[in-house]
Amino acid sequence: MTDDATNAEAELEPSENQLTIRRKFDAPRERVFEAWTDPEQVDQWWGPDGFTTTTNEMEVRPGGVWRFVMTSSDGDEHPNRIEYDEVEEPERLAYTHGSPDDPEQFRVVVTFDDRSDSETDLAMEMCFSSAEELDEAVEFGADDGAKQTLGRLADHLAAGSSV
């Protein structure tokens, strides 16, 4: 991964239960949105360093579900589920990460803003049900993992990778 991963800045929002990661990408907004919503592309970059992702199902629409498995470098598998609440191509995604019965599920809103014809500002807001859950997520590494994930997306886009 390039040193550009450090361009992703993590900040805690004043509500104390929200973590926002911001990053600039040297790619048009439509290209960044496509990389985020195309299962063949997202499998190439999703997850923190040392992880691979395998998509089992991805239907990017309100009520649609993305089921995937993240596998660590030591072979541990981590099944994940995302349900999309809002899809506004190429501007915004809102989803719930975790199954409906998961007490640790959290809401994510990703916005894709045009900086120019060839640059995109992305904000990923993760909202937890309490400050304690946010603290647990940060202790688990959610902030660093999100920054690494966005760094991998930057590398994917810089390489001109697509399907």
CB 96 within 8 A of CB 106: yes
Q: What is the mean pLDDT of the chain?
A: 90
Average pLDDT in the 97-105 region?
87
Alpha carbon 93 to chain centroid, angstroms: 10
Q: Which domains does the chain have, with CATH numbers?
A: 13-158 (3.30.530.20)
Amino acid letter, residue 88: E
pLDDT of residue 86: 98
Give the three-state DSSP class for 138.
helix
End-to-end alpha carbon distance in the chain: 20
Cross-sheet strand order for the sheet of 52-58: 9-12, 18-25, 119-127, 106-116, 92-97, 77-88, 65-71, 52-58
Q: Give the pLDDT confidence of 104-153 residue by residue, as tens digits.
A: 899 999 999 999 999 999 999 999 999 999 999 989 888 899 999 999 99
Q: How confident is the model over 26-52, as a mean pLDDT?
A: 97
